A and B are shown apart, each in its own frame.
Chain A
Amino acid sequence: MLILATPYINWSALWKIIVASLVAGAGVVVVFGFLLLGVKIANNAKGGGREWAGYALSGVCGFICLAIVAAGIYAILNKPVSKKPAPKKTAAALIAPSYKSTA
């Protein structure tokens, strides 16, 4: 298929997008689930180590969730294409070449 030829699909960018989406998208759902689980463990425990373990699990998971959100906001603020002048030969330059360079 012509469309699968490299000029149409930037495979390296595509793989990065898939991996990043899996890690951040599906990952955050699981981590958030463990956060809720930690809260439940802590609530059900009657004091002691189990309660602290629950809160620790929630805390770690909460931190990971926040880190993923921060990564998302970083991605919004730091699009490679928006840098001027656009560096040549970056992934961004390959995806969105200016009209001149392809005409």
Chain B
Amino acid sequence: MGSTLILVLVVIAGFSFDFTNGFHDTANAMATSIATGALKPKVAVILSAVLNFAGAFISISVAATIAKGIVSPKVLVGGDGLELVLAALIGAMTWNLITWYFTIPSSSSHALIGGVIGATIVATASGEVNWHNLVQSVIVPAVLSPFICAGVAALGTYMAYRLIRRLGQKEARTGYRYGQICSASLVSLAHGTNDAQKTMGVISLALIAHGDISAVNFSVPFWVKLGCALSIALGTASGGWRIINTMGNRITNVESPQGFSAESSSAAVILASSYYGYPLSTTQVVSGGVLGAGLGKKIDSVHWNVIGQMLAAWVLTMPGAAVLGGVAWAIADIFGAHANVGAIVICVLAAGGAFGLWTLAQRNKITPDDLDRTKVSVVEEAELAGVPAALAEA
């Protein structure tokens, strides 16, 4: 049994991670709707926040998968279980903030899984990680899902533009904007059902470690659900403008039929996969969707250097978060028997790091007003060959 102080720190770290997850992933649902002017940036993030909140309450299957599948429960109910979960959350959160600073849409889910694995490896120095389950239920879907979504979105976009020849540019652009709002909403809802529950799973792990709930057939307590739902919604509403800019403007110049195609494909892939119990990365699916939507219209409209940066970040996310989680564990472990002191030290270091990154990010800040394109008329939008240079460079 770990101490109650550490349990409290774990819960705070869990909610903080969920907050970073929220603003990191707002882009998934809303970036394309903002980029095409279907929604004002602030309206978009608030809509997304409400739907994330609702989604967080709907189902618990993903929470169960994360908690049960990858790390042996006996490590977590052992004496160091709580510190381990804390180190994992700090690793994941710090990785999220680093990728946010570099404006890269990386997977919060993979960061979380990486953090758990890193802390477990350093803590136990043995094979307490279920690698088979990790490959089967995390890595394989992570590799396949962006390709599937890109293919679906490319096909959808290609056919949409064939229809548009009969439909006329103006009608199509205006009409598809309405469709986009609907498909983006569905992605937000799906995001809430998947991502908030991953944190619920981790906080549940901590409660198991503290002995508050049983490791067998556990269920997520109501206050954990509410806390996670609120954290992810607040994070979403705060708006991750840096990542929204990357997703909406820097991958390709998204037009409303492409935005609709990308979001519909993403919603379809995410919902079909989660129906079969895969803890899929929403970020990677949507990035695949946006890429596919670009390819479906014109192959050279995609900015491959941005795709390259994203791919690098995706590959690095799990090991990167694992290293951070492992380092957090190692620092806490220096204090040995004074586990409370170790836990406080790593929390203070993480908070300091977060503040530092936030301060650095203020230097090249991106505001919602920079991204607002609702005032751009459909004609102007059609005439715009690319994104304003200032945004593309940011």
Contact = CB atoms under 8 A, between A and B. Distances in A.
Interface of A: 3, 7-10, 13-14, 16-18, 20-26, 28-30, 32-37, 39-40, 65, 69, 72-73, 75-82, 84, 91-92, 95-99, 102-103
Interface stretch (B243-251, B261-269, B342-350, B363-371): B261-269
Nearest to B193: A76
Contact of A92 (B160, B164, B168, B276): B276
Given A25-B156, A25-B264, A99-B72, 5 more contacts: A17-B148, A17-B273, A40-B167, A73-B189, A75-B271
B77 interface: no
Nearest to A83: B61
B180 to A, nearest CB: 10
Contact of A25 (B133, B167, B176, B265): B265
B182 interface: yes
A22 B172 CA distance: 21
B283 to A, nearest CB: 17
B264 A28 contact: yes
Contacts of A33: 159-160, 163-164, 167, 172, 257
Which A-B residue pairs are the 3 nearest by beta carbons?
A: A25-B268, A25-B265, A29-B156
A63 to B, nearest CB: 14
A68 B269 CA distance: 13
Contacts of B189: 73, 76
Contacts of B153: 25-26
A91 B274 CA distance: 12
Contact of A81 (B155, B160, B277): B277
Contacts of B65: 81, 96
26 contacts: A3-B135, A8-B135, A8-B136, A13-B276, A17-B273, A21-B269, A25-B267, A26-B152, A26-B261, A26-B264, A29-B157, A29-B159, A29-B160, A33-B160, A34-B163, A37-B166, A75-B274, A76-B59, A91-B276, A92-B276, A92-B277, A95-B276, A97-B133, A99-B130, A102-B132, A103-B130
Contacts of B267: 24-25, 72
A36 B73 CA distance: 53
B278 interface: yes
Given A14-B144, A92-B277, A29 B257 contact: yes
Contacts of A34: 163
A32 B72 contact: no
Contacts of A77: 58-59
Given A37-B166, A102-B130, A103-B72, A79 B272 contact: no
Contacts of B55: 76
Contacts of B135: 3, 8
B272 A95 contact: no
Contacts of B137: 95-96
A33 B167 CA distance: 8
Contacts of B171: 36, 39-40
B118 interface: no
A102 B133 contact: yes
A94 B274 CA distance: 14
Contacts of B193: 76
Most buried by B among A9, A32, A77, A98: A32
Given A97-B133, A103-B130, A72 B166 contact: no
Contact of B152 (A25, A37, A79): A25
A17 B268 CA distance: 9
A14 B276 CA distance: 9
A12 to B, nearest CB: 10
A80 B276 contact: yes
A7 B271 contact: no
A102 B135 CA distance: 13
Contacts of A76: 55, 58-59, 189-190, 193, 271, 274
Contacts of B132: 7-8, 102
